[in-house]
Structure formats: structure tokens, C-alpha cells
């Protein structure tokens, strides 16, 4: 806990005033004073500073009440006060975007992740960021910083990617690589962690503070938000739902095909569904193909996918029993077929959990990772503006 002094007091109150202005479409000094129980001179003084720093602006007068009185001056938050770069590095593509403080993606670009030496990818990112800056005519001073999402285990303190199988990185000094090319603050975290931050800020998880985001794709991983804060765990390994065991007997014969691959991933991920069905029908199919066949009631597809659904549902149910979250949000390639299986999933969950919990599919599209990466930055960056 920080010791208190006068400047600490003002920092607290300034954050409160700014948050108040953000939460209302527009608001007056008198209204802020009432809402926050701060005296009118105090509010006026703080508003003067926020106006000077361009966090807010005046938008003309409001209406005076029927009882009479001076018209209030309306104040509004200025989302163009600053911009943030969001970078989402995936196994197959890298997305880069620049957003304002409302999370509006002003510019966006994507390129395929190629099997370069690690450094070439950073040169490409640097080029992408410069391109987007030019399109927006952004000065350096307007850029507050950068958030980056990566599929792997990240140690935020040391700035190392401890392991990221999809990118073939181990103990990779990503923060150093990025700081060589960008001279503003940078924060890096796991991709499902930034996803739950993004859902909380601008997604389907808004206005709730205890969320779980589960990504079901080539792997299965999850991000956890508790009391409005990302929960990472002691070894930055919280949320490894892919490791969960839901079939004791079947798990006896389970052997990980590589390090960092868990039981639930081996039975319920997109790639394992595709692989298992391919084996059975003697033909190469993808997970999407598998779901299409499932809808056509193909016997093999039904067997493989029902087995996966049962394990996945139990994994989600176990999550609910342990965390009792407000909402579970599903993302990743397999979640796009969620409507196909949602009734069955919900039925299993309802049967094995103490309390009902809503499970929904993310509403975010291709820009999800960028918004999540920006949310990471805004959460970690020390400023009077917070999300």
C-alpha cells in the first residue's frame, strides 16, 4: 500500500472525476460534485487540469432546470487524447491495430506468420505499425504505448516468452526485441489473457468482473478475470484448462505428444477432432469438416464429436464448480461451431454444476486480439485513465 500525501489525494480524485466523465455521455461540474461528494471548487480545479491536458473538452451548455438557475457547461471525455497499438501474434497470422481510448479500432492490418527467424517478424510488425501511424497522421506523442498477445506462457516481470510452441519460442526475450524497435511502454501477455481483458472492456463481458474466456482451437486455453483484475497464477500458468482430466480411465493411456499439451486438448481441441476423425475414415478432414459431417449425422463424426463434447462440457462444468464465475465466453476456431453443440454442452453443464452459469460465444471478430492487446496495455499502464 502506498503511503498517503497530498499529491496522492489529488491523483485519486482526478481518476474519480475522469471516470465519472467517461461513464456519462456528458456531465457538468455541479453534477460531478454531487455524484462524487467532492466540493464544487475541488471539482472545478480538477476539471481545469483535465481540460488543460485535453483528457476532456467542453461541449456547450446544457439546460437549466425548471426551478431556474444557471445553465451547466457540458463536459465530455476525449477518446482521441491518446492512441494505443495492439498486436496479436498467432500461429498463423499477426494482427496489428491502433485504437483510441474508447477501444475504437481506427486502423487495422494483418499478415501471415511466416517461419522467419524470430527477428524478421518484429521488423514486419514495426513496418505495420509505421504504416498504420501514417494512415492516421499520428504524432509520436499521441501514441501511449503497445500491448501484445502471444499464444504461450509469458513471464511479465522478466519480459520473456517462457514457451510458445506454436511460434517455436522458448525463453525468448520478446520485450527486448520490441523495445529495440519501439520506444514507448510495452506490455506482453498470453493471448487468452488478453482475450478476457478485451471481453471485459469492450466485449460481451462488459459490466461484469468475474469472467472466464476459453479458447478452443488447435489447443485449449483460458483466461481468468477475478474482481476486475486478470488472474495469472503463481507461475503465470493459471487457466491451463487444456490440461484438465475429465475421463479418469481414458487418461490412464494418455501420453502428451509434446510438452505443453494436456489431456483435454488431446480429446477436445479442433486439431484432435480433425485428427481422430481422419484416422477413423481414412481421409484427411479438418475440424470444420467434422462438424459438417456431424450435422449430416455421419456415424464416425457423431462418435468422435460427442466424445469431445462430453469431455469439453465436463471441463467447462468443472470450471464453473471451482470458480463460480459470472460468465464463460468461448472463442477460438471450434467455438464458431458452438451453435451446433450448445444444447448438448449446456445440458451436461447443468447436470454437473451446483449453480447455473451462462456460457456464450464471443461476439468479437477478427479484431478481437487487437482490442484485447490494447486492453492489456490500458490495464497495466499507470495513468489517470484506467479501464
Partner DNA sequence: TATTAGTTAGTAAGTCTTACTAACTAATAC
Partner DNA sequence: GTATTAGTTAGTAAGACTTACTAACTAATA
Instruction: Give the residues lining the site for its own copies (CB under 8 A).
Output: 1-6, 8-13, 15-16, 36-38, 210, 222, 224, 226-227, 229, 231-251, 260, 262-263, 310-311, 314, 317-319, 321-326, 352-355, 357
Minimum CB distance to its own copies smaller for 243 or for 338: 243
Burial of 245 (0-12, 13-18, 19+ CB in 10 A): middle
278-315 per-residue burial string, b: 16 or more CB within 10 A, e: under 16: beebeeebbbebbbebbeeebebbeebbebbbbbbbbb
Question: Per CB under 7 A, which of residues 52..81 are in contact with DNA?
Answer: 61, 63-73
Q: Does 28 bind DNA (CB under 7 A)?
A: yes
DSSP state of 5: -
Question: Alpha carbon of 142 to those of 21, 83, 126, 202: distances in Å?
Answer: 21, 6, 17, 22
40 binds, among DNA, its own copies, none (CB under 5 to 8 A by kind): DNA
The residue among 104, 194, 98 whose CA lies nearest residue 149 is 194
Q: Does 31 bind DNA (CB under 7 A)?
A: yes
Minimum Å gap between C-beta 183 and its own copies is 30
115 binds, among its own copies, DNA, none (CB under 5 to 8 A by kind): none
Size of interface with DNA, in residues (CB under 7 A): 34
Minimum CB distance to DNA smaller for 71 or for 356: 71
CB 219 within 8 A of CB 238: no
**CA 329: distance to chain centroid?**
11
Task: Give 171-174's long-range contacts (Cβ < 8 A, gap of 24+).
Answer: 172/118, 174/148, 174/150
Minimum CB distance to DNA smaller for 69 or for 112: 69
Minimum Å gap between C-beta 274 and its own copies is 21
92's torsion region: left (phi>0), alpha (psi -120 to 50) or beta?
alpha
Which of the stretches 30-38, 146-154, 185-193, 351-359 binds DNA when contact is defined by CB under 7 A?
30-38
CB 178 within 8 A of CB 146: yes
Q: Does 1 bind DNA (CB under 7 A)?
A: no
Candidates 18, 20, 38, 320: give the one binding DNA (CB under 7 A): 38
168's torsion region: left (phi>0), alpha (psi -120 to 50) or beta?
left
Candidates 18, 21, 46, 175: give the one binding DNA (CB under 7 A): 46
Candidates 1, 2, 4, 141: give the one binding DNA (CB under 7 A): 4
Minimum CB distance to its own copies smaller for 58 or for 324: 324
Burial of 383 (0-12, 13-18, 19+ CB in 10 A): middle
271 binds, among DNA, its own copies, none (CB under 5 to 8 A by kind): none
Which of the stretches 25-33, 118-126, 136-144, 297-305 binds DNA when contact is defined by CB under 7 A?
25-33
- Positive or negative, the CA dihedral 264, 269, 271, 273 is positive
Q: Report the residue count for the chain.
A: 387
Minimum Å gap between C-beta 68 and DNA is 3
Q: Does 154 bind DNA (CB under 7 A)?
A: no
Q: Which residues of this protein are in contact with DNA, per CB under 7 A?
A: 3-7, 9-10, 13-14, 28-31, 37-42, 44-46, 61, 63-73
Amino acid at each position: 500500500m502506498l503511503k498517503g500525501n497530498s499529491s496522492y489525494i489529488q491523483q485519486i480524485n482526478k481518476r474519480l472525476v475522469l471516470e465519472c466523465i467517461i461513464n456519462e455521455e456528458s456531465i457538468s461540474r455541479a453534477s460531478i460534485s454531487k455524484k462524487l461528494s467532492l466540493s464544487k471548487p475541488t471539482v472545478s480545479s480538477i476539471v481545469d487540469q483535465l481540460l488543460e491536458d485535453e483528457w476532456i473538452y467542453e461541449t456547450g451548455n446544457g439546460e437549466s432546470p425548471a426551478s431556474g438557475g444557471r445553465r451547466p457547461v457540458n463536459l465530455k471525455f476525449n477518446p482521441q487524447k491518446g492512441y494505443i497499438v495492439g498486436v496479436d501474434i498467432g500461429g498463423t497470422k499477426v494482427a496489428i491495430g491502433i485504437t483510441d481510448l474508447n477501444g475504437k479500432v481506427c486502423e487495422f492490418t494483418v499478415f501471415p506468420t511466416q517461419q522467419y527467424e524470430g527477428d524478421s517478424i518484429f521488423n514486419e510488425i514495426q513496418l505495420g505499425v509505421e504504416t498504420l501511424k501514417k494512415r492516421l497522421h499520428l504524432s509520436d506523442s499521441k501514441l501511449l504505448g503497445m500491448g501484445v498477445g502471444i499464444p504461450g506462457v509469458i513471464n511479465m516481470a522478466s519480459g520473456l516468452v517462457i514457451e510458445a510452441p506454436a511460434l517455436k519460442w522458448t525463453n525468448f526475450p520478446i520485450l527486448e526485441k520490441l523495445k529495440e524497435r519501439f520506444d514507448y511502454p510495452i506490455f506482453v501477455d498470453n493471448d487468452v489473457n488478453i482475450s478476457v481483458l478485451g471481453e471485459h472492456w469492450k466485449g460481451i463481458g462488459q459490466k461484469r468482473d468475474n469472467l472466464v474466456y476459453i479458447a478452443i482451437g488447435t489447443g485449449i486455453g483460458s483466461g481468468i478475470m477475478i474482481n476486475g483484475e486478470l488472474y495469472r497464477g503463481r507461475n503465470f500458468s493459471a487457466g491451463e484448462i487444456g490440461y484438465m482430466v475429465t475421463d479418469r480411465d481414458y487418461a490412464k493411456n494418455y501420453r502428451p505428444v509434446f510438452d505443453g499439451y494436456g489431456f483435454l486438448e488431446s480429446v477436445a481441441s479442433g486439431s484432435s477432432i480433425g485428427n481422430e476423425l481422419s484416422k477413423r475414415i481414412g481421409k484427411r478432414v479438418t475440424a470444420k469438416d467434422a462438424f459438417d459431417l456431424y450435422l449430416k449425422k455421419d456415424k464416425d463424426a457423431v462418435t468422435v464429436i460427442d466424445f469431445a463434447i462430453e469431455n469439453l462440457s465436463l471441463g467447462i462444468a468443472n470450471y464453473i464448480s471451482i470458480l463460480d464465475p459470472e460468465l464463460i465466453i468461448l472463442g477460438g476456431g471450434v467455438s464458431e461451431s458452438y451453435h451446433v453443440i450448445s444444447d448438448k454442452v449446456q445440458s451436461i453443464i447443468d447436470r454437473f454444476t451446483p449453480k447455473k452459469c451462462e456460457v456464450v460465444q464471443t461476439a468479437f471478430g477478427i479484431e478481437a486480439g487487437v482490442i484485447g492487446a490494447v486492453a492489456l496495455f490500458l490495464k497495466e499502464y499507470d495513468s489517470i485513465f484506467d479501464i
